[in-house]
Amino acid sequence: MERTENRASGRQVPASGPPAGPRTAAVWAVLRRELDRQAGRALTVLDVGGGTGGFAVPLAEAGHQVTVVDASPDALAALDRRAAERGVAERVRAVQGDGDALAGLIEPASADLVLCHAVLEVVDDPAGVVAAIGTALRPGGAASVLVANRAAAVLSRVMNGHLDVAAALLTDPDGHAGSRDTLRRRYDADGAAALLRSAGLEVEQTHGVRVFADLIPAVAAEADPPALLDLELAASAQPPYRDIAAQLHLFARRPA
């Protein structure tokens, strides 16, 4: 693989950026454009609910300074191990804390980029978390927000024959399907955008993530991974494909 020196860190990193499979390609494509836009600058990144570092560690490998706030000590221990294995422990800071209390954990206007992936579905107060993200961002900084898409959840329950669960997901105000549902809420593109705008963020891009990756039989996905990846990228910005993806990715910016 072609390698290039990252001007921020002096480290050799893959010229094409972090590796991306079909389940994350659309998100990395957006993030890569933002990193390229800031080329040469080591960014201060905050990953809210960053878990074991699937995004945090590659960003640190690309020379950026990443703080992960997560409620789970086990996830943070795995994050520390992964960062150490990849030689970037000094650029990854793990903070155990509740996303709902983010405002008290992070210095205002300190982050160039905030990730909040698959977290707003489970916190107590998503509007409060998004407001805290807006406060943590420096003016001109960007937020990468990934949420569960209600439409995909409805379709997948119907395809599995769980019509009662599909009906609950369809009609519940929050897209929640009762006490056995592991998510507290799901979004559509307009609802997620409105949430970000309520925190003063300007939504620049909305993509579907895992448009096809969850639909295709495993054997077909494994037969031609590059073709699936290309298809995911091609469909991610195009309604109606975008709107039936398993997740919705919104890229938003705090006005400068």
Ligand X SMILES: C[S@@+](CC[C@H](N)C(=O)[O-])C[C@H]1O[C@@H](n2cnc3c(N)ncnc32)[C@H](O)[C@@H]1O
- Looking at the Cβ atoms of 5 and 125, the one nearer to ligand X is 125
What amino acid is encoded at 63 in this protein? G
Tokens of 211: 């448009």
Minimum distance of ligand X from residue 2's CB (angstroms): 27
Tokens of 252: 């938003």
Cα separations (Å) of 20 from 10, 120, 233?
A: 23, 23, 11
Minimum distance of ligand X from residue 132's CB (angstroms): 11
Minimum distance of ligand X from residue 55's CB (angstroms): 6
Rounded-to-5 percentages of helix, strand, coil across the chain: 40, 25, 40
Contact residues for ligand X, defined by CB under 6 A:
49-51, 54, 70-72, 75, 98-100, 117-119, 122-123
CB–CB of 120/130 below 8 Å?
Answer: yes
**One-character DSSP codes across 41-110:** ---EEEEET-TTTTTHHHHHHTT-EEEEEES-HHHHHHHHHHHHHTT-GGGEEEEE--GGGGGGTS-TT-
Minimum distance of ligand X from residue 116's CB (angstroms): 8
Closest to 144 in 3D by CA, of 46, 228, 40: 46
- From CA 84, how far away is CA 98, in angstroms rounded? 24
Minimum distance of ligand X from residue 217's CB (angstroms): 24
Minimum distance of ligand X from residue 99's CB (angstroms): 3
What amino acid is encoded at 140 in this protein? G
- From CA 211, how far away is CA 203, in angstroms rounded? 21
